[in-house]
């Protein structure tokens, strides 16, 4: 009897460990991660058709943080003016696909009036920002109602974009 109880306990512990490992660190820490492809075609006003990118966003209401890893390439725009090609900001906006919305979570950079960053046309950046728990929960309840995009001088409304859900 003792041997079967030990075997059952060991089996349950192993199953618990497998479940914990399969959940992933973000979920175990109370967060949820979204991986989103970014393209110019998703920008309603027309983004750069040659640019593309990837966003990995982890929303953690328990820690009141939004962590991000953004990368993009070929974001050089379509005009001959190279002075407006620098990427100056990235945000999470509130709006469904096909619509533009206001900034909901500021990830990096400006708007231009507050610009404190200028990235090249192929680059990446990552970090974590503080956000209200209620705002994070709102995104988690309807991720399709939010999108990530990056901005440049030529495309101030967004050079590439991707919906969270």
Q: Quick one: 83 and 147 in the same domain?
A: yes
Q: Quick one: 92 and 77 in the same domain?
A: yes
Q: Quick one: 65 and 131 in the same domain?
A: yes
Which residue positions in the chain have pLDDT lower than 70? 1-30, 111-117
pLDDT at 14: 36
Asked if 151 contacts 89 with a C-beta cutoff of 8 angstroms, the reply is yes
Q: Quick one: 41 and 19 in the same domain?
A: no
* Rounded Cα–Cα distance for residues 105 and 114 (Å): 15
Residue 9 phi/psi, 5-degree rounding, is -60, -45
Q: How many CB atoms lie within 10 A of CB 41?
A: 12
- Positive or negative, the CA dihedral 104, 48, 84, 37 is positive
Asked if 109 contacts 116 with a C-beta cutoff of 8 angstroms, the reply is yes
How confident is the model over 49-95, as pLDDT tens digits? Answer: 999 999 999 999 999 999 999 999 998 877 777 777 889 899 999 99
- Alpha helix ranges (H) inside 1-160: 2-23, 25-28, 133-141
pLDDT at 86: 85
Q: Quick one: 5 and 55 in the same domain?
A: no
Number of domains the chain is built from? 2
Which domain CATH number covers 44?
A: 2.60.40
Host domain of residue 1: 1-25
Residue 100 phi/psi, 5-degree rounding, is -100, 150
* Rounded Cα–Cα distance for residues 11 and 38 (Å): 43
pTM for the predicted model, two decimal places? 0.79
pLDDT at 12: 32
């Amino acid at each position: 009897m003792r041997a079967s109880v030990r075997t059952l306990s060991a089996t349950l512990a192993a199953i618990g460990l497998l479940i914990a490992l399969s959940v992933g660190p973000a979920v175990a820490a109370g967060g949820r991660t979204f991986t989103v492809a970014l393209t110019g075609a998703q920008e309603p006003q027309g983004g750069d058709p040659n640019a593309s990118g990837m966003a990995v966003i982890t929303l953690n209401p328990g820690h009141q943080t939004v962590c991000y890893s953004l990368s993009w390439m070929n974001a050089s725009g379509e005009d001959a003016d190279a002075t407006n090609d620098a990427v100056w900001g990235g945000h999470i906006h509130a709006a469904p696909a096909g619509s533009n919305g206001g900034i909901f979570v500021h990830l990096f950079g400006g708007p231009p009036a507050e610009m404190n960053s200028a990235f090249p046309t192929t680059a990446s950046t990552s970090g974590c920002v503080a956000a209200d728990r209620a705002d994070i929960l709102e995104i988690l309840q309807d991720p399709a109602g939010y999108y990530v995009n990056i901005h440049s001088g030529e495309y101030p409304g967004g050079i590439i974009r991707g919906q969270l859900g």
